[in-house]
Amino acid sequence: MKSIFYFLTILMFMTATAWSQQFVDKAVIEYEVSTNLKKTMSNDNWDEMMKENLSDLKISYFTYSFENNKSIYKFDRWSPKTKIPKYKKDADEESVWYFDFEAGKMSMQKQIAGTNFVIADSISDIEWKITNENREIAGYNCRKAVGKIMGDVYVFAFYTDDITISGGPCSINGLPGMILGVTIPRLYTSFIATKVDASFNNASEIKPIAAKKTYDLVSLKSLIKEKTKDWYSYGDDKEENKRQSDLFFWNSFL
């Protein structure tokens, strides 16, 4: 009799837990984005002089709005702690990412070397390996995954399956739930969700980026490589030149 009582108690607890668990299918998520700007800079005389007047971290806030399996990620504001010249802010302020996960399509506006380009293409696949490590972010239990982008750039992400969309900041996506934390060591950058507002009710603002001309990823990468092929060929430090070229390219297409 006791065993039946215990069984019924456990069954009732599990049922109540299942009913109480609420899956989020629309929301606005705020991310704090931190980049160690000085580590991204070169060691030439000009950059060394500039470093003296810059804050160590470039800190900004972005919002990720989603509903109906569509999302838009864009700049919101700068942290008052960030002290950098305007031209180093422009790319963040102008870039926008739109994803339609049901259709498998995305469009994103990226400012590259002072010019806005709009990319319209299929959503790229990221190779992920899910681990058993967990942490809490913005009140959600998240699981760690390790992925690769741009061929050999490692991404360390934490996602929650309590938020149903398979998205994340910038173009990071493809896990079985929403990515609330990301670290990309080779870009000296981290993204961390600071809050999730599930009262979002403005799906009309989630729409593809309007543009007279669009590029697919392959054609724009070829164009940018051609236009910048001589940018990082100065001095004798070939290793540093390659590092700067890689950082520029990875940031352009993240």
Which CA distances in Å does 183 have to 42, 74, 145, 225?
21, 18, 11, 26
- Number of Cβ within 10 Å of residue 14's Cβ equals 10
pLDDT at 11: 42
pLDDT at 86: 85
Written as tens digits, the pLDDT of the chain (254 aa) is: 445 544 444 444 443 333 335 788 899 999 999 999 888 887 776 677 777 778 889 999 999 999 999 999 999 999 998 988 888 888 899 999 999 999 999 999 999 988 999 999 999 999 999 999 999 999 999 999 999 998 899 999 999 999 999 999 999 999 999 999 999 999 999 999 999 999 887 778 899 999 999 999 999 999 998 988 888 877 677 888 899 899 999 999 99
Sequence ranges of the domains in the chain: 21-124+162-253
Whole-structure pTM value: 0.88
Alpha helix stretches (DSSP H) within the chain: 2-20, 37-40, 45-51, 90-94, 217-227, 238-253
pLDDT at 200: 81
pLDDT at 20: 38
pLDDT at 17: 38
Instruction: Identify the three-state secondary structure at position 196.
Output: strand
pLDDT at 45: 67
